[in-house]
Structure 1
């Protein structure tokens, strides 16, 4: 999910929210009622493959049909997404031996652990521990943290984010403050597996991770979903997880090393991995369940070029039951993340149907398992109902603004594609301005479902309001964002509040409506800019359509 600061919008004439006959008018009743229902305790946090999923996808399909859409998958509202669920138990402490002091790190308090491998038991025993810095292998950037070291069968300890994340500006080997995909935790595990590591442990540090330990702990508690795979993901590391920074410091001290000094060295070009001379052990059992979740898909067929599509997406899932808070509440309701976005997707469908069909088709896709690693959108992108070569663009809605209006819009990934002028025009028409991303180190471009489409070539808008709150300015905006991330993100307290201010959400949705209408009634095919990482994929896709 994006930061809450990317979920806000500018002031709205309230008449526009209620004037349903007006093109682009957004129903406040839809936003409120759908969000409240989906985030109620009756939906138990909307975890995929649970009974709560059945209620969730049925509600979305019902609302799509009521809005006037057609079933989007050959007469069906659904696309099956094969998943495997792994629930671990009997987790032993992560023990460190061979150093100055034997250490035992406890689950939840010090570390979280899991696996991608579909096996009933996992046991890492006396695995040599190697510090691999940021765990990056980027030959095009002249950087390889694994040079000269063999980590097959070993446990690698990895820092989160990019080596230059603390640079105050954007630019340099890893774009400075702006995170690259090399900084994401998902990449760290992928590369460790390619290197043959038995276990990959990321050091949690709140600022470069972009969220606190509570968020990590909640996200790793309970059943963990992955894409089903005929090879049972045996190419992955046996164990993957996170360790609190103080625990990592204790581990390094036991090995006779200075964590701060090695972390600083890891930022420098030419860094060499450091064997720590200690060994790690951990084990746990897994309960395995294979099942199919569902994406929900509806379409408003185009009148002139129905085989060409513009895509609206939002993820319907959340964490289900998670770590109880101090009151004992263990339902992560996911009101903001992402009941609001799902409600926005339905309201968007209603607005477009009321305005009438466009030249191109408009596709509305509610995806599953975003919280488990963008699994639903990844499955759609790799198995599209409507070919990606014929998908002109799209907008993803991962949370809406419920805080009050802002004066600005932040475009994450601005400068990457030929969508920028289209966005600038629509933002200007609303009397707002585009501001630079305030927290590029958090890597929002790689953290939601638009990324699944982008990396397979489809230029995707990723825009929402910025920090400049109409009531309180930038200072208030940043304060609210920090509070949400610390106290509510991926926690049981993300609950519906009838006192939310929806004005910004409505105008953000009107912006998304304008973007969709502009491209759905156009014959243009905006591409990624020359030199962008996704340009070659799009060129190849369009050439072979």
Structure 2
């Protein structure tokens, strides 16, 4: 009997080790499938209010379901439905799911990326679809892959929310609506991921964090990566004002340590906001390395052993 128990124990621990092996969970083939689908011509550039963005939302919903995420509290499904304002009642929808926390369920960690892009634009004779492979199919791919990883890990003491924002390109309306549905005091941290498809100016295995000096979020992430090749750096493009140009800005203004992680050399990216932002221009190894670095560096925040310092509020909720 004791031998049987021992063998069962070995089998269980072996399964646990496999479940926690990030290289088995977040593979190149998996990431490629996500980003290729989101940036395909079938999605028509994922323009706001288009058939293409509805297809993209449906795809993200199917991935959330396959992973086993729960809808957010108060929602019947993964879509957060809303409108821009009283004068514009056209439908908008974020796609959001969650993994409930264990001992610290009221404390929330958000992982996000925006899934909208420019849609059909004035391009050239051959192409008019702004596929948005890096901006921001790469970030949404990371967000979905992280959901898969943390669901397999099953050790999050805090509640994890994974959200694909809409309407970032036309004013950040998805993030603004999402922020209104939360008490910002309950949100411990936000990992917003945008444009990780190319090597950063710091070289391989490196990314930058916007608003690095506004909290100790970046220092916590870097501490958790000690002994690895990957490094996080402060935003090297302060003149671009990137901290306030992405979906982290709304929650950051409410005091949340909400930061964007990116690798894009935005000061000289020839594909940014053009029809040439396609899968073929991406460095898929860079995407994979960045996703895994985020997964590992966030672990103490996910487990509830680290809490980033708050950002001074700019506005009241």
- Does residue 317 of the first structure (1) align with residue 132 of the second (2)? no
Match of residue 128 from structure 2: 330
> Which of 170, 173, 188 is the aligned partner of 1:392?
188
Unaligned runs of 5+ in 1: 1-18, 84-227, 233-288, 467-477, 529-533
Q: How many aligned residue pairs are there?
A: 296
User: In the alignment, is the contact (CA less than 8 A) between 1:40 and 1:333 conserved in 2?
Assistant: yes
Query: How far apart in 2 are the matches of 1:508 and 1:381?
Result: 26
In the other structure, the counterpart of 2:20 is 22
Q: Which residue of 2 aligns with 1:513?
A: 295
Residue 407 (structure 1) shift: 4.8
Distance 1:524 1:400, change over 3 A: closer
Match of 2:54 in 1: 54
Q: Distance in 2 between matches of 1:316 and 1:57?
A: 8
Structure 1 counterpart SS, 2:109: strand
1:310, distance to aligned residue in structure 2 (A)? 0.6
Identify which of 309, 312, 315 aligns with 1:535.
312
Q: In the aligned structure 2, how far is the partner of 1:54 from the partner of 1:437?
A: 33
SS in 1 for 2:45: coil
Distance in 2, matches of 1:524 and 1:496, equals: 36
Task: Render the CA deviation track for 1:78-136: whole Å, top value 9, x for unaligned.
Answer: 111202xxxxxxxxxxxxxxxxxxxxxxxxxxxxxxxxxxxxxxxxxxxxxxxxxxxxx
CA distance in 1, matches of 2:191, 2:144: 14
Match of 1:496 among 279, 283, 291: 279
Aligned to 2:6: none
Do 1:311 and 1:394's aligned partners in 2 also have CA atoms closer than 8 Å? Answer: yes
Q: Deviations over 1:478-535 (max 9, x none)?
A: 6xx5552xx32111111121x743222222112221243211212554323xxxxx42
Partners of 1:500 and 1:524 lie apart in 2 by 33
The aligned residue for residue 66 of structure 1 is: 66
Mark the runs of 5 or more structure 2 residues left unpaired by the alignment. 1-16
**C-alpha distance in 2, partners of 1:54/1:464?**
26
Contact 1:30–1:346 under 8 Å retained in 2: no
In the alignment, which residue of structure 2 is the partner of 1:298? 97
SS in 1 for 2:159: strand
The Cα shift of 1:403 comes to 4.5
Deviation at 1:334, TM superposition (A): 0.8
Q: Give the structure with the larger helix fraction.
A: 2
Aligned with 1:311: secondary structure?
A: strand
Displacement of 1:448: 0.8
User: Which residue of structure 2 lines up, in the alignment, with residue 34 of structure 1?
Assistant: 34
For residues 162-186 of structure 1, what are the alpha-carbon distances to aligned partners after superposition, in whole Å with 9 as ceiling and x for unaligned?
xxxxxxxxxxxxxxxxxxxxxxxxx
Per-residue CA distance 1:198-254 (angstroms, 9 max, x = gap): xxxxxxxxxxxxxxxxxxxxxxxxxxxxxx1x4x5xxxxxxxxxxxxxxxxxxxxxx
TM-score normalised per structure 2? 0.84
1:199-278 aligned at under 5 Å gives the runs 228=85, 230=86, 232=87
Q: Residues 408 and 340 (structure 1 numbering): CA distance in 2 closer, same or farther, change over 3 Å?
A: closer
Runs of 4 or more, structure 1, over 3 Å off, are 19-25, 402-405, 432-437, 463-466
Summarize the alignment of residues 344-383 of structure 1 with structure 2, pairs less than 5 Å apart: 344-383=142-181
CA distance in structure 1 between the aligned counterparts of 2:267 and 2:78, rounded to whole angstroms: 38
C-alpha deviations, 1:140-182, integer Å up to 9, x for none?
xxxxxxxxxxxxxxxxxxxxxxxxxxxxxxxxxxxxxxxxxxx
Contact in 1 for aligned 2:109/2:158 (Cα 8 Å): yes
The yes-or-no answer on 1:526 pairing with 2:271 is no
Aligned-partner Cα distance in 1 for 2:19–2:165 = 29
> Does the 8 A contact of 2:223 with 2:297 survive in 1?
no
SS in 2 for 1:56: helix
CA contact (8 A) 2:254 2:314 kept: yes
Name the larger-Rg structure. Answer: 1
After the TM superposition, which residues 44-123 of structure 1 pair with which residues of structure 2 at under 5 Å, given as runs? 44-74=44-74, 75-83=76-84
Partner SS for 1:44 = helix
Equivalent residues in 2 for 1:6-21, closer than 5 Å: 21=19
RMSD (Å), alpha carbons = 2.5
Q: Is the 8 A contact 1:30 1:343 kept in 2?
A: no
CA distance in 2, matches of 1:339, 1:408: 19
Query: Could you tell me the TM-score, scaled by structure 1's length?
Result: 0.51
Instruction: Please state which structure has a larger fraction of its residues in strand.
Output: 1
Q: Deviations over 1:450-475 (max 9, x none)?
A: 11211122112333448xxxxxxxxx
